[in-house]
Amino acid sequence: MTPAARTQATLELLESIHLAMRPADALTSAYFRARRFIGSKDRAAISTRLYAVMRHQARLDWWIEKHTLDKNPRARLLAWLALGEKLPLRAIDELCSGGKYGAAALTDAERAFLRRIEGGTIEHSAMPDDVRAECPPESIEAFKKKFGKNFMREMRAMQEPAPLDLRVNALKSNREEILGDLQKHGFNAKACELSPWGIRIFERPNLNDLPMLKQGLVEIQDEGSQMVALVLDAKPGERVVDFCAGAGGKTLAIGATMQNKGRIVACDILEGRLKRSSERFRRAGLHNIEIKPLSSERDPWVKKHKGGFDRVLTDAPCSGTGTWRRNPDARWHDLGPGLVKLLKIQAEILDSAARLVKPGGVLVYATCSLLPDENENQIEAFLASHPEFTLDPCGLNGADYLSLTPAQNGTDGFFAARMKRAATQGVTP
C-alpha cells in the first residue's frame, strides 16, 4: 500500500469505530479480514497509527476545539499526524492527496488548522487534568481518590500500549522451554515477574510466527489475568466453577493448575462464547471441563448444585477501566451497561455464585476494573450481608486484596478478593 492508502485505511477505521457500538479490536479484525490484500506490514502500520490516535483522543480534541475545527475522526487523524508524528504540512498534503486510494484533499480550514499547530507538542500547559490524563470527566474524581499523588503516573501508564503476555500451558510444556524457543527464534522475551507461567514479549510479532499458539503450548493472556487463577489456587481432584467463563481464558489456566484432575464447570449466559471455547480446551489438552450455559445468574442449575463445589471463581462483568491501555476506545464508548447498572449486576452475580460454594470452600471475586465501587466496596457489602464468609488475604506482600495496576505492576488493572466459607455454616437457599 502507498502511504496515502494507509492513511485512508486508518481514517476508515476511525470513522467506523466512532459510529459503531462495537469494540475497536473487533472492528479492526473484521476490516482486515474483508481486505486480505492488505499485507502484514501495512496492517501493523495502520493499527499502530489507529491506536495512537485513540490513545491521544482527549488531547487531540483539545487542540481541535482550541482552533475551532469541527471535531471528528478526520480532524483527530490530521492533528495526530502534525502533533504526534511531527509531519510538516507538505507531507500531510501528500498523504491526503485526493487520489483513488488516498484520503480526500485538505480543505482550506484543515490547512489553516495544520499551519497553526505545525511544530507544536501534543500536550499544552493549559490542558485540564482530565484531558492530560485521557480520563473521562465523570471518572476523574474516583481515580484521583484511588491513586492520590500517583494519579497522573497511573493514568500515563494506561496511555502506553500493552505488552504481549503469554501463559505457558503447564500440561504440555514449561516456561524455560518456551522462553528458550522464543529467544532462539529472535524474539525479545523474558519471564514475567508475578505469574509463574507468564512470558512477556517486547514487540508485536505476527501471531502466525508463534506456532506454539496453535499447538496449545501457550495462550495469550495478560499477566494480571493469569494471577487470578493463582488466587483461586484450585487443586487437582477438586470441583470448581468458573461462573462467568466467557471465552475460557481463566478456565484454561485453572485446568492447568488442576493437572486435568477433578471437575471444572465453565458457566456463562453467552452460550456462543462458551461453545467457541471448547476448541481452546481441546487444543490445550484439557478434558475435565464441562460447559454449562446459564439463562441468568439465578438459573435453576445454581440452586440445584448449591454447596457442591470446592472453589468458585466469579470474574464479574465490569467497566473494564483496567484494560484502557489495551482498549483505548473503551474510555469514550459505553459498550455495555452503565456503572450504576453494573454494580447491581455484580452484586447479584456474587450473591448467586456464593450458593455454589461448599462449607469450608473458597469464593473468588475478580474484575478488570480499577474503580473501588466495583472492587473493595462490592466485597465489603457482600461480607456484611453474608456472615458465613470471611476475607482470606490474597494480595501481594500479604495485602487483603490482589490489586494490580499498569504503573505499579506492568499489568492490566486487575482486582481479586478471596473469601472462605465457614466449615459449619449451611448453604444460602
Q: Active-site residue 368, yes or no?
A: yes
HSE-CB of 242 using CA atoms within 13 angstroms: 26
The identity of residue 186, as a single letter, is: G
| Beta strands 389-391 and 357-367, pairing class | unpaired
Q: What is the CATH number of domain 3-127?
A: 1.10.940
Architecture in CATH of 223-421: 3-Layer(aba) Sandwich (3.40)
**Residues 168-180 pLDDT 10s:** 999 999 999 999 9
- Residue with grid cell 518456551, as numbered in its chain: 178
Along the 429 residues of the chain, how does pLDDT read in single tens digits? 999 999 999 999 999 999 987 899 999 999 999 999 999 899 999 999 999 999 999 999 999 999 989 999 999 999 999 999 999 999 999 999 888 888 999 999 999 999 999 999 999 999 999 999 999 999 999 999 999 999 999 999 999 999 999 999 999 999 999 999 999 988 999 999 999 999 999 888 777 778 899 999 999 999 999 999 999 999 999 999 999 999 999 999 999 999 999 999 999 998 888 988 999 999 999 999 999 999 999 999 999 999 999 999 999 999 999 999 999 999 998 777 889 999 999 999 999 999 999 999 999 999 999 999 999 999 999 999 999 999 999 999 999 999 999 999 999 999 999 999 999 755 455
**Residues 367-424 pLDDT 10s:** 999 999 999 999 999 999 999 999 999 999 999 999 999 999 999 999 999 999 999 7
Spell out the domain ranges in the chain: 3-127, 164-220, 223-421
- Kindly report the pTM of this predicted structure: 0.93
Helix, strand, coil % in the chain, rounded to nearest 5: 50, 15, 40
| CATH homologous superfamily of 164-220 | Sun protein; domain 3 (3.30.70.1170)
Count of C-beta atoms within a 10 Å radius of residue 319: 23
CA distance 202 to 192: 11
Please tell me which residue in 135, 192, 267, 368 is annotated as part of the active site: 368
HSE-CB of 146 using CA atoms within 13 angstroms: 24
